[in-house]
Amino acid sequence: MRIWKQRTACALVLALSLTHCVEQSEGSGGVGGSAGSGGSAQACGSPSSAFAVCGSIKREAPPDGSRVLVIWSVEPSGYKFGEGTTSGDQYVVEFESAPPAEALFGGTLGIGIVLIVPPQLGDLPDGPLEQGFDPLTESWIGLAVTDAIIYRTGGSLADWDLAFPPNDYACGGCIFLEQAFDEFEPFDCEDGLDLQGSSNPGDLVYLCDFT
Percentage of the chain exceeding pLDDT 70:
75
pLDDT grade for 135, boundaries at 50, 70 and 90: low
Query: Whole-number mean pLDDT of the chain?
Result: 77
Contact predicate 206/136, CB 8 Å: yes
Please report how many Cα atoms fall inside a 13 Å half-sphere around the Cα of residue 1, on the Cβ side. Answer: 3
pLDDT grade for 6, boundaries at 50, 70 and 90: very low
Q: Which tops the pLDDT comparison, 133 or 169? A: 169
pLDDT one-digit tens code per residue, 35-76 = 334 332 335 777 778 898 988 999 999 999 999 999 999 988
Q: Which tops the pLDDT comparison, 23 or 179? A: 179
**Does residue 186 have a pLDDT over 60?**
yes
pLDDT, residue 94, reads 92
Q: How far apart are the C-alpha atoms of 151 and 154, rounded to whole Å? A: 10
Q: How far apart are the C-alpha atoms of 107 and 32, rounded to whole Å? A: 16
Domain-by-domain residue ranges, the chain? 21-203
Secondary structure of residue 136 in the 3-state scheme: helix
